[in-house]
Amino acid sequence: MQLIPSKIGTMQKMCYICNHFYYTKNQKAMKKTTYIWAMGLALPLLLGSCNSKNAAGNGGEEDSTAVVVVGDTETDEEFSAEQQLLEKSWKHLGEWASQPLTVKAKGEKVNIHDFAQAFCQEYSSFEPCAKMLSYLKDPENFDGGEKNFYVHDVQKNGYIQCNWEWEFSNAVTLCYWNRKNGHQLVGVTAERGFENDDDSKYQYMFYDYDKATGMMTPDKEVVKVFDDFAAQYSSMYAYLPQEGKDCYVCTWSNDDDDSFKDYHAVWNGMSFTFSPAEE
């Protein structure tokens, strides 16, 4: 399932991006990335729309094609290597449903850091997971590196996210719910963005955690609830909650009216039901 649908027009893609950030604007860390995303994606689109005019040349010194750098072989090779690594790590993430995880709780009561450690240790080839592990090892001295990774940690609410503050976002987000049967449901979302819309993807995963075994077992029943709902639409994005228990779900339909619709995935103590979001 793609984060940004590829079969929609430029303006619709920009609306989809704006919609994405509208529902995350309450995250302090996310505020800083909104303009980076918007400029990073809008500028190439705008330049592309003017390409035919600039290709002919207007004879002026302000020709916008002057800002385009071509023939940078070293940069192209680095980009290709990075994309290959991303493809490999994403393929491994795609195998999550067959891979139970062992949770090593550091205290008497398991918390979101324990779940994040277990998940990110298994999928450390995905860069946001590697950065999350670095944060969990030493939160006070965490270094986001050249890509300005940051961690939004709301431990009291069972939520944590590691995001790449860049033009094209790579992120991993986790939260958990207490179930009626005494277990915990752990939700994980991963997203990868790249210059090509077709390479921008999104994945949601759910695990059942049993304290008695110390295992996070893939919960295919909850995944099926989301899959069945998503099947009605061309694209779907679910936001794990920083507060409360319900997920905010954004959908897009590739039908006659190309419409966006928003829903809540309402927590019922074991799984979720969907209801339209209030406008």
3-state secondary structure the chain: CECCCCCCCHHHHHHHHHHHHHCCCCCHHHHHHHHHHHHHHHHHHHHHHCHHHHHHCCCCCCCHHHHCCCCCHHHHHHHHHHHHHHHHHHHHHCCHHHCCEECCCCCCCCCHHHHHHHHHHHCCCCHHHHHHHHHHHCHHHCCCCCCCEEEEEEHHHCEEEEEECCCCCCEEEEEEEECCCCCEEEEEEEEECCCCHHHCEEEEEEEEEECCCCEEEECHHHHHHHHHHHCCCCEEEEECCCCCCCEEEEEECCCCCCCEEEEEEEECCCCEEEEECCC
pLDDT digits (tens, 9 = 90+) for 171-212: 999 999 999 999 999 999 999 875 555 557 899 999 999 999
Which residue in 212, 205, 170 sits closest to 186, CA to CA? 205
Instruction: Supply the pLDDT for residue 192.
Output: 86
User: Could you give the CA distance from residue 148 to residue 239 in angstroms, rounded to a whole number?
Assistant: 22
pTM of the predicted model, to two decimals?
Answer: 0.73
Instruction: Supply the pLDDT for residue 8.
Output: 37
User: Could you give the CA distance from residue 145 to residue 165 in angstroms, rounded to a whole number?
Assistant: 10
Q: What is the CA radius of gyration of the chain?
A: 20
Instruction: Supply the pLDDT for residue 82.
Output: 75
Which residue in 55, 30, 51 sits closest to 173, CA to CA? 30
248 burial via Cβ count (<10 Å: 0-12, 13-18, 19+): middle
Sequential pLDDT tens for the chain (279 residues): 333 333 333 333 444 444 444 333 333 333 333 333 344 444 443 334 334 333 333 444 433 333 333 444 555 566 577 778 788 889 999 999 999 999 999 888 999 999 999 999 999 999 999 999 999 999 999 999 888 899 999 999 999 999 986 655 789 999 999 999 999 999 999 998 755 555 578 999 999 999 999 999 999 999 999 999 999 999 999 999 999 999 999 999 877 566 899 999 999 999 999 999 986
Q: Domain ranges in the chain? A: 10-47+75-232
Which residue in 109, 95, 113, 210 sits closest to 160, CA to CA? 113
Q: Tokens in use for 239? A: 């936001």
Q: Tokens in use for 91? A: 């393929």
pLDDT digits (tens, 9 = 90+) for 39-61: 444 444 333 433 433 333 344 44
Which residue in 266, 228, 231, 271 sits closest to 249, CA to CA? 266
Spacing of C-alpha 266 from chain mean position: 20
CB burial string 86-98: b at 16+ within 10 A, e below: beebbeebeebee
